[in-house]
Chains A and B, each alone.
Chain A
Amino acid sequence: MTGPRRPPSRLVSLLGVLAVALLLIGLLQVANLMRHPMPDDMPPVPELDADAADPRTEIDCPDPPQEAADDETRAATPPLVTSNELLDCPRSWDGQTIRYRGEAVGAVLQRADGAWVQLNDDIYAQTRGPLPTHRDYAGGNAGLGAFIPLELAERIGRVGGPRFRGDVLEIEGQFRRVDGERREAAVIVAHTGIVAGEGRPIEDPVLPERRVIALVLVLLAAATVTGERLVATRR
């Protein structure tokens, strides 16, 4: 800050700062308009239970069942539970036989006596399908690790990832708050299961408007950079 100072007026300075801020916010707003459209043929989904993901919601954990459960209880079909229920009340569900349904994602990690797989049971896995093919945002993924029998692991055709919606498995097994055998926490050790839904490629066709905008901007950027180089050389 040397030499005679000629600062612009306060109003001009503030308007300049405001203009830059609006330009930057505008940049994201314009980008927002170029996102994937919501498909017209997508049926409406049921209202999401917003409370389920809200940490302010009070959790009412079920009582752990008595050890001497009668034969009738044991013979009944195990309850179908979600990862949120299990993680909210790990002690209530510890050691219980449960049913769990989720999309296999990532990789199937084979071991000598079974295989590890991450099973997501969120809306993307269960009903709506993966992003970015729609705009039903339901937060991050929810799921649990499961140790499944090798024969079930071999039947998995696709695991979910950037290009595929993975097979949906329905497993029956024990939820273990701590799996001492494998030194893992909060996992399901399945003794049986089926592939309840086959995975498929994620359809993400090229968005033509985006392509045109990208190509126009690339040309503009090339021109600006070339111009800047020329000016810099002359200086």
Chain B
Amino acid sequence: MHFVLHRAKKKLQAIIVKVSDWAIFIGIVLIGGLGSSYYMVSVGSALTTRTVGPWKTWTHAGRNDADPYTRAHFARAGRLNLTTEIAQTYLAGHDSKGMRLHSSCVYRISGDQLDARWWSITALNDLGQLIRNPSQRYSFTSDTIAVSQDGTFEVTLARDARPGNWLPTAGAGRLSVSMTLLEGEAIIAGDSEAQAAEINLPSIERVACR
């Protein structure tokens, strides 16, 4: 009786080992396959995105020859982008030092005149929704922004009113800033990283936090 019990125990152990091996195998495959796909679709890589300072853009957004990651990213985001052959939309979720943008802080976005026929900067929350504010300020464009005499500009993201180009951020939590360049020099320059390094985009500095 004792021998039979011992054999059954051994058999059960062998089955458990085999089942756990398969469970580990399936777990690794699921986590590896789905996780890597999710990362490449939501965050992107150097193959699909271009990063300039705090700004990131998907290099083949809206194009017929877009790669599967870009297609999946924009289908998931539910955005309707112009092709990058015409316009490039950069998004920033972090400041120039890599800290997450948050409405509890004040930020200064400053830059030289941008090399584009038309451009705009918009403050949004991290879901891409506009931030409600009584003064109904949501974005500045190359036509509506106040530019200084030397051609530079500054936009302040803050909860309370500020002089100059102020975009209210009160109550938004995590922020993202969208910048669209229509027919910019970057587009004419092409896609290579060397040329991308020459793109002159504004910096985002954290001024203060509460």
Are A and B part of the same complex? no
